Structure 1
Amino acid sequence: MSAMTAPYTLQVVIDCAHPHVLADWWAQALRWDVEPQDEDFIRSMIAQGLATEEDTTTHRGALVWRSGVAITHPAGSQATGGAPRILFQEVPEPKSVKNRVHLDLRAGEPVSDAELERLLELGAQGVGAGSQGPHHWVVLADPEGNEFCLPVPAAP
């Protein structure tokens, strides 16, 4: 077994039914960017027999890979201290139980009521709330039911 020379980086993968729709939602919610997909590259993979038309779909008028799409922080991972890339991957089965891993949105301080309302208006659903010591949060779910936490001020 050889020794690693560098630490791993991290990509978060979210299983979902509609990766492009959910990636658009999360990009808007986080104010991140959807990674562009190269239509010429996709067409060349089909022409070479390395992919098929069934491996693709059209989203917002562009040819894309059906199985997944990623979002990234607009400043890039180096500028953000290593913000991970988030990949949305198509799976056939629906979500059926609570997530064992979830995202914690970090804003540096509790978010305003207006920011919470913005996420709810985008389609997030309230799931619950929690606190530990001075820390308070709400638990929300994205349009496909994946939970995430948002720091909020303590209730008065």
Structure 2
Amino acid sequence: MTSRFEVLSIDCHNPERLAAFWCEVFGFTVLDRNEDSVEIGSWEPNVEDVRARQMPVTLVFVRVPEGKTVKNRLHLDVSPFDMSTKDEVQRLIALGAGRVDVGQGPDRGWEVLADPEGNEFCVVRSLAPGEFEG
């Protein structure tokens, strides 16, 4: 018997704001919301699909009172699939992301950004045709 990775929960102050940001990043839609949380995803979860196979993970943004104080121990890596990494970084900054230095050093092949509440994530190699060099 095994479990399925179904949801990644992210603590935040403003679930609506972060859900809107990440919906724009991934092209997701809001699946569920209440006063203290918003769930987003690329598909509408149902028991039959989850039992049959591993399905894409949904993200849930949960309101918490405390702020972020240290570097995340878990973060998302995103890969653009229809543009260069550089162009995707610029798009994400325009959506509200910011550049972050977590000690990664120069010229690593990825960019470290933070979402509007300071949660770090990486933009890694592009999967666009002609961009990926193996």
TM-score range, shorter chain: 0.7 to 0.9
Higher strand proportion = 1
Q: Offset of 1:107 from its aligned partner? A: 3.9
Stretches of structure 2 lacking an aligned partner (at least 5 in a row): 127-134
Q: Offset of 1:31 from its aligned partner? A: 1.2
Partners of 1:76 and 1:137 in 2: CA distance? 31
2:80–2:88 contact (8 Å) kept in structure 1: no
The one of 24, 30, 33 equivalent to 1:28 is: 24
The one of 91, 99, 103 equivalent to 2:64 is: 91
1:76–1:83 contact (8 Å) kept in structure 2: no
TM-score, structure 2 normalization: 0.73
Q: Offset of 1:120 from its aligned partner? A: 0.6
* CA RMSD of superposed structures (Å): 3.0
Partners of 2:18 and 2:82 in 1: CA distance? 26
Partners of 1:76 and 1:130 in 2: CA distance? 36
1:111–1:151 contact (8 Å) kept in structure 2: no
Partners of 1:66 and 1:26 in 2: CA distance? 18
Give the match's secondary structure for 2:109: strand
| Aligned positions, number | 118
Identity of aligned residues (%): 35
The one of 109, 128, 131 equivalent to 1:136 is: 109
Q: Offset of 1:33 from its aligned partner? A: 1.1
1:109–1:151 contact (8 Å) kept in structure 2: no
- Alignment of 1:70 with 2:39, yes or no, is yes
Amino acid at match of 1:85: T
Amino acid at match of 1:32: F
Give the match's secondary structure for 1:104: strand
Q: Offset of 1:123 from its aligned partner? A: 0.8
Give the match's secondary structure for 1:34: strand
Amino acid at match of 2:64: V
* Runs of 4 or more consecutive aligned structure 1 residues displaced over 6 Å after TM superposition: 75-78
Give the match's secondary structure for 2:71: coil
Structure 1 pair 92–84 and aligned structure 2 pair: CA distance change class (3 A): same
- Alignment of 1:103 with 2:79, yes or no, is no
Partners of 1:18 and 1:122 in 2: CA distance? 16
1:130–1:136 contact (8 Å) kept in structure 2: no
TM-score, structure 1 normalization: 0.64
